[in-house]
Amino acid sequence: MNQQTGLNKILSTPVQLGDLKLKNRFIQAPLTRLRSDLDTGLANDLMNTYYSQRTSFGLQITETVMTHQMKGYFPYLTNEQQSQQWKKIVDSVHEQGGLICLQISHGGRTNISSMGSPPVSPSPIKINGKNKFTNNECYETPKELNIEQIKQIVNDFQQSAILAKQSGFDAIQLHAANGFLVDQFLRESSNLRTDEYGGSIPNRCRFCLEIIDVLISVFGSGRVSIRFSPVGRYNQMYDSDPLALMKYIFIELEKRNLSFVELRRFGKFDLSAPVEEGQAHPELQIPNFFQTLRQYYSGNIVANDGITIKEAESLVNDKTAEAISFGKLSISNPDLPIRYDYDQEINNMADHHTFYSQGPQGYIDYPKYDRL
């Protein structure tokens, strides 16, 4: 590499996120790609190639991995065989000088019984419509979790984290966004409970924080992160006062000294979804999203969602965020940090039709920049 390459490029500078020393400020965002084995949930050689192609990123966050069986849907991590398959990927990433973080999740009311896990939620409120990932099956009314079941799910997160640690992952991230189970507890549209897990903001945050604490018990606080989408509408989520929710949970997370908090702004889906009667538009709920939330959290922030390179540089320069996670750009540019360093054209044409399909097309066939 030419000695001048990468100089004065803020996104190319290293950054310390808790116990993680990133070589640059590019993070591969967690992205559902549905390439794991349909019957066993096992990671495979195709996925190994995919993650190995992207080791130029300062950190890779995996697609979300479930703490329960979800055949034909997401990968899940519940046994030693699955742990060993992920270890092959982790080892490949490490051999090329990369860092990799496992994102962990529970589907909650997004689950489909035919996939192996019936839907559950803080309250029996179903998602209207059909699940596009499962042959358009209609969503079912979820079963309301009792206290004993909630405690068991927290324990399941801990057990999956232990397996992830055995796989050699550098860090772990709790998926508390996009309408999955943790998000369902956080936001009032899906949580109508009146016990210690519902009602007030502290009660609605209890489940999330209990999981964070067990993840810390396995990985240590400096290797644990969390992802939020406080104004996102994906999976028909809504909260009337997301800023108050984030203010409270930021206070609690400050005490725990996490590696970072990843904040998903609002994507194309959220902005194009119809605004239901009585609900505020996502952009109006937290105006100047990243800058506003920065005021309430002094720890490391990773900004996400539709961020251009120019905006990324601005967010890092003004210290609104320490790093940026790229989704679509990491799909179509497996070597995005290198392209940035060499001032090469960035491919903005990710193929949406292959985001959630099987096989290598649109997964491992995007070209890298040829420096020769």
Phi–psi pair at 228, nearest 5 degrees: -120, 155
- 108 token code pair: 């909650």
Buried b (16+ CB within 10 A) or exposed e, 22-47: bbbbbbbbbbebbbbbeebbbbbebb
Question: In this structure, are residues 323 and 287 in contact, taking their beta carbons and an 8 Å threshold?
Answer: no
Domain 10-354: CATH superfamily, name plus number: Aldolase class I (3.20.20.70)
User: How high is the pLDDT of residue 332?
Assistant: 97
Residue 147 neighbours by CB distance under 10 Å = 10
SS3 assignment, position 264: strand
Nearest to 180 by CA among 233, 231, 126, 108: 108
* Distant-in-sequence, close-in-space partners of 260: CB < 8 Å, separation ≥ 6: 17, 18, 225, 299, 300, 301, 302, 322, 323
User: How high is the pLDDT of residue 372?
Assistant: 47
Q: Helix 147-167 vs helix 80-95: angle between axes, to the nearest 10 degrees? A: 40
User: How high is the pLDDT of residue 7?
Assistant: 58
**Per-residue pLDDT for 101 more than 70?**
yes
Question: In this structure, are residues 161 and 219 in contact, taking their beta carbons and an 8 Å threshold?
Answer: yes
Question: In this structure, are residues 304 and 324 in contact, taking their beta carbons and an 8 Å threshold?
Answer: yes
- What pLDDT digit, counting tens, does each position of 148-194 carry? 999 999 999 999 999 999 999 999 999 999 999 999 999 999 999 99
**Domain boundaries defined on the chain:** 10-354
- 317 token code pair: 């320069």
**Per-residue pLDDT for 338 more than 90?**
yes
User: How high is the pLDDT of residue 69?
Assistant: 87
User: How high is the pLDDT of residue 269?
Assistant: 62
Once rounded to an integer, what is the mean pLDDT over residues 97-116? Answer: 94
pTM: 0.96
Residue 255 neighbours by CB distance under 10 Å = 9
User: How high is the pLDDT of residue 276?
Assistant: 81
User: How high is the pLDDT of residue 270?
Assistant: 65
**Per-residue pLDDT for 94 more than 90?**
yes
- 195 token code pair: 């016990």
Once rounded to an integer, what is the mean pLDDT over residues 232-256? Answer: 96
Question: In this structure, are residues 323 and 25 in contact, taking their beta carbons and an 8 Å threshold?
Answer: yes
Once rounded to an integer, what is the mean pLDDT over residues 7-33? Answer: 95
- What pLDDT digit, counting tens, does each position of 269-304 carry? 666 667 788 899 899 999 999 999 999 999 999 999
User: How high is the pLDDT of residue 1?
Assistant: 41
